[in-house]
Amino acid sequence: MASKPYCRSMPDRPSDEDVSRQILGVFVRHRIPATGTLQRNYFFEVRDGDFQRGINKAVANNWITVDLRNRYRYQLTTTGYAVMSALPPKQTCAVQLAMSAKDQ
């Protein structure tokens, strides 16, 4: 009897786009206006392994900028604010719920 090799599947990782939208969701949840800033400690619900990928994607999309003097401070751009305000509130919550479901 040949047994199947032990194979553990890797859990699904959220895409860079999903994580960057989760980061924008943090700005929305804290009601940060365009050009407003948040420190790194506000993003505790974003998984550490995904955080830097999400930050990089959000910066590439021109949704946020990283402060030049303090790399742990992030500023929401007007483009990022427009992206999140274009989504209906229910869809914003749905994105956040989908992200939390993937983490479990």
Q: Each residue of 53-86: pLDDT tens digit?
A: 999 999 999 999 999 999 999 999 999 999 988 8
- pTM of model > 0.75: no
Domain ranges in the chain are: 16-103
Cα 39 to Cα 10, 30, 74: the distances in Å are 31, 12, 6
Fold of 16-103: Arc Repressor Mutant, subunit A (1.10.10)
Q: Give the residue with greater pLDDT, 5 vs 44.
A: 44
